[in-house]
Amino acid sequence: MIVKPFSLLDSDVKIGLICLNTDPRKVTTMFTTLFEKSLFTIFVDGFANHIHDSQFKDSHLPNMVSGDFDSIRPEVKEFYESKNTIQVVTTPDQDETDFTKAILLMVESSKCKLDYVVGLYGSGGRLDHEMGIMKSLYIAKTLSKFPVILVTESSISCLLDEGDNCIIMDSFPTYQYCGLIPLGKPVRTSTCGLQWNLDDEYLDFEGIVSTSNRNTTSTVRVHCDGPLLWTVSNPFTKILKVAEFP
């Protein structure tokens, strides 16, 4: 698997954007930047409230609003329903997260071949919500033919495949904070290109978890015998033009 986490904003990269139910003030700059290049955008449930109440209400209209709608206000839902270009889709299944259901809708609805489906959210909210997001990322391979990447104000994350993975970060200097975290089960891992490499070691919540690591080269290689969460510092928030909510 080849991963280019810093290629999201490249002009030739095609993305679909899923804006998760979060306070967008944490990710305003990433939202406006990713929205402008997204080929298909979904607002998930309560995220629509925040955009509706901001200066982006009329300028940043999604292709779809989805969710079980336990958070969206009635007048906000009516506003988006009044737009002929926007699909408003209720997804009532309580056995799946709104993120999981939005990924499925993205795959069904996007008419373009995407390089990435990007899930955008602000970290630091309810832990149960964040764990639900991680669960959706863990099963994303079974849901989407497109790679799924999570973006927050501070991190860019994806799930590495079993086997050989090559993470290319040549757009930015080395020594970005990064981590390798086993979400589902213990994962035997070897790495090259990190400050603290792993040599056929198990990553396991009862043993070693590789957090607060750093890359020493622009290419990091990871061999693992199971799915593994890769996360790296988000450098874009420091260099992009800042947009603010009122």
Read off the pLDDT of residues 186-221 as tens digits, 9 standing for 90 and up. 999 999 999 999 999 999 999 999 999 999 999 999
CB 113 within 8 A of CB 12: no
Rounded-to-integer distance, Cα 229 and Cα 179, Å: 8
- Segment 121-149 shows an average pLDDT of 88
Class of the CATH domain delimited by 159-233: mainly beta
Q: Sorting pLDDT into bands at 50, 70 and 90, what band is 244?
A: low
Quote the percentage of the chain above a pLDDT of 90: 65
Superfamily of domain 2-153: Thiamin pyrophosphokinase, catalytic domain (3.40.50.10240)
Rounded-to-integer distance, Cα 160 and Cα 229, Å: 6
pTM for the whole structure: 0.92
**pLDDT above 60 (res 30):** yes
Rounded-to-integer distance, Cα 102 and Cα 228, Å: 22
Name, in order, each residue with C-beta under 8 angstroms of 115's C-beta and a sequence gap of 6 or more.
Answer: 7, 13, 14, 15, 146, 147
- Segment 116-125 shows an average pLDDT of 87
Q: Can you list the pairs that 31-38 forms with residues at least 24 positions away whose Cβ atoms lie under 8 Å?
A: 31/60, 31/120, 31/243, 32/56, 32/60, 32/243, 33/9, 33/236, 33/240, 34/8, 34/9, 34/118, 34/120, 34/151, 35/60, 37/9, 37/13, 38/118
Residue intervals of the chain classified under CATH 3.40.50.10240 are 2-153
Residue intervals of the chain classified under CATH 2.60.120.320 are 159-233
Q: Sorting pLDDT into bands at 50, 70 and 90, what band is 78?
A: very high
